[in-house]
Amino acid sequence: MDEKHIAFMRRAIELAQNGVDNDQGGPFGCVIAKDGQIVGEGCNEVTSTNDPTAHAEVVAIRAACRNLESFQLTGCVVYTSCEPCPMCLGAIYWARPRAVFFSATRADAAEAGFDDAFVYDELALPPGARPDLSVDGTIQLEKLDDVVFVGRPVFGQQDATVQLFKIDPDGKYAQKVKVTFGRSSVNTIEVKEGLKVGDKVILSDMSAYDNYDRIKLN
């Protein structure tokens, strides 16, 4: 491997070590180089600056952009001591460097107590299904008039088509029907197709009855 790559990566690791020694933050360092020269560098400064976004990569990107007087890192290479977290990866995409090299992996970081797996897990979820976010209140973004809606079922996600059990008028049986949802709020979800006003459906988890089209209610 190119000697320069190794030298820049060593510098990133040195910055990580210095940052810890100087109580600046977590053990992460980052170097940004262009045409074989360092144009920006930094270490994690989260705890010393009370800034949760002051990850090494963000600090280095800011320094490099300041030096280059540009909001893009065109032609630059990012050397970071650890695989970028989702936030830094986003910042790197926005800055558009030419390449990224990292040393430790996110599994190494997790082992050392810096686990960003929960962010990756949340990002992989479809919109409207982020169970770890607690609800402290609701903000009304829009009010929909004239829509049929039901309480949000366990697996009810925005714009999904699901199978729900619709309860017969006599209340003794429930029949599986296909329902297409539209927009959702915290507690309710718009029904676009499959149900009409007055229909009753079962909202609890019915996945145990996936193989049945009709069930008897007790």
| Residues within the interface to Zn ion (CB under 5 A) | 55, 85, 87-88
Of the pair 88, 201, the CB lying nearest Zn ion is at: 88
Of 31 and 164, which CB lies nearer to Zn ion in the complex structure?
31
Q: How many residues does the chain have?
A: 218
What burial class does residue 19 get, using C-beta atoms within 10 Å of its C-beta: 0-12 exposed, 13-18 middle, 19+ buried?
A: buried
Set 3, 14, 41, 57: catalytic member? 57
Give whichever of 1 and 124 is closer to Zn ion, judged by the CB atom.
124
Measured CA to CA, the distance from residue 27 to residue 23 in angstroms comes to 10
Q: Are 164 and 153 in contact (CB under 8 A)?
A: yes
72: helix, strand or coil:
coil
Give the nearest distance from C-beta 57 to Zn ion in angstroms. 6
- Dist. CA 5–CA 27, nearest whole Å: 20
Q: Output 91 or 195, the one with its CB closest to Zn ion.
A: 91
Q: Mind giving me the DSSP string for 35-53? A: TTEEEEEEE--HHHHT-TT
Least Å distance, CB 32 to Zn ion, is: 14
Least distance from Zn ion to the Cβ atom of residue 69, Å:
24
Q: How far is the CB of 10 from Zn ion (least distance, A)?
A: 20
Q: 57 an active-site residue?
A: yes
Cβ count near 140 (within 10 Å): 6
Nearer to Zn ion, 51 or 205 (CB): 51
Closest listed residue to residue 82, CA positions, set 42, 30, 119: 30
Q: In terms of Cα–Cα distance, which of 195, 202, 204, 197 is closest to 216?
A: 202
Q: Which residues contact 109 (CB under 8 A, 6 or more apart)?
A: 82, 83, 115, 116
CB of 30 to Zn ion, least distance (A): 9
- Catalytic site positions: 57
